[in-house]
Amino acid sequence: MKQLKLAEPRGICGGVRRALTLLDGIRQQQAGDIYVLHEIVHNNFVIRKLKAQGVHFVEDLAAVPDGATVVFSAHGVPPAVGQEAVRRGLRIVDATCPLVKRLQCAAVESVENGEMTILIGHRDHPEVIGVLGQRPGRIRLLEDAAGIGALPPFTGPVRVLCQTTLDTEWIGRLLALLRERYPQLIADAGVCFATGERQAAVRQLAAEVEAMIVVGSPRSSNSNRLRDIAAERVPAWLIDVPEDLAKIDLTAFRVIGLTAGASVPDELSQAVIGALAAYGFAAD
């Protein structure tokens, strides 16, 4: 039998578990339609299952009927969205992860204190849209090192925040470059501990295996970072469902590793681990 090594920790984080528990609670309590603004978490398996149970996913508040229940996803929303939902008399259930809330609050505080506020993140990600929307036009988005040159000079305090699911080592390199430009830089809220722990586990495991499977959906930022980190050392694949294993040639490997993104439920990770047995891999 070939060997399958499992990263620890891996898979669903506290924020995702909380969001799904909240949604489950409302489904038990009320009979009416429930609308979730954006994917509650970025995982296709979870979304498919919830859709089959009758939950509606919409990308715009305008698609939620008046008086209905709307759930804000774990990634958070800009205040303008919450205000619009209140104005329309929607019943709001806020499943924003508390660590994303903390990031939003840090952004508001920084702007109110007159600092230059920089957010490192991906422009189109809902979490980033939610943070930028806390103080529209007052928070500067930095997507990569190439963007540093476009930031304006500033003599006061500069606070740097970052999206919770980015690569901790990449952030460290970016902060070092930013510090050359702004010596008075303050690095604040950012990559969450759940993301950091999963990345550290993958870095460690990648040194012990010949290839790595990362369970997670293509839209999941943290899952993509896990795949990227693993791929720095060994061949690595992001797979959405157990059936995706059929697209990968694992015949050359005797020891492989497996991890899962923070939005992946245990049930899905276990299904992939079970499916790997058909390819001759058994977990320790």
Is residue 147 part of the contact set for ligand SF4 (CB under 6 A)? no
Q: 223 or 281, CB closer to ligand SF4?
A: 223
Q: What whole-number distance in Å separates Cα of residue 154 and Cα of residue 151?
A: 9
222 scored as a contact of ligand SF4 (CB under 6 A): yes
Question: What is the C-alpha separation between 187 and 193, in angstroms, rounded?
Answer: 15
Q: How far is the CB of 161 from ligand SF4 (least distance, A)?
A: 13
In angstroms, what is the minimal distance from the CB of 86 to ligand SF4? 24
162 binds ligand SF4 (CB under 6 A): no
Looking at 2, 5, 6, 14, which residue binds ligand SF4 (CB under 6 A)? Answer: 14
3-class secondary structure for 14-48?
HHHHHHHHHHHHHHHHCCCCEEEECCCCCCHHHHH
Neighbouring CB atoms inside 10 A of 119's CB total 25
Alpha helices in the chain (DSSP H): 14-29, 44-52, 79-87, 98-112, 126-132, 168-181, 193-206, 221-231, 266-276
Closer CB to ligand SF4, 11 or 133, in the complex:
11
Interaction of residue 97 with ligand SF4, rule CB under 6 A: yes
Footprint on residues 234-253 left by ligand SF4 (CB under 6 A): none
Examine the residue annotation and report whether 267 is marked as an active-site residue of this protein: no
CA distance 119 to 143: 8
| Smallest separation (angstroms) from ligand SF4 to the CB of 100 | 5
In the structure encoding, which two tokens stand for residue 136, read together? 């529209």
Q: Tokens 């970072």 label which residue?
A: 225
Number of other CB atoms surrounding residue 79 within 10 Å: 14
Rounded least distance, CB 112 to ligand SF4, Å: 23
Site membership for ligand SF4, residue 262 (CB under 6 A): yes
187 beta partners: 160
99 belongs to the binding site for ligand SF4 (CB under 6 A)? yes
User: Considering 8, 39, 109, 127, which one is annotated as catalytic?
Assistant: 127
Q: Of the candidates 13, 118, 215, 250, which one interacts with ligand SF4 according to CB under 6 A?
A: 13
Binding mask of the shown chain, residues 64 to 83, with x at each position contacting ligand SF4 by CB under 6 A: ----------x---------
The DSSP code for 153 is: P
Residues comprising the chain, all counted: 284
- Check binding of 195 to ligand SF4 (CB under 6 A): yes
- Give the binding site for ligand SF4 (CB under 6 A): 13-16, 74, 97, 99-100, 164-165, 192, 194-195, 222, 262
Catalytically active residues are 127
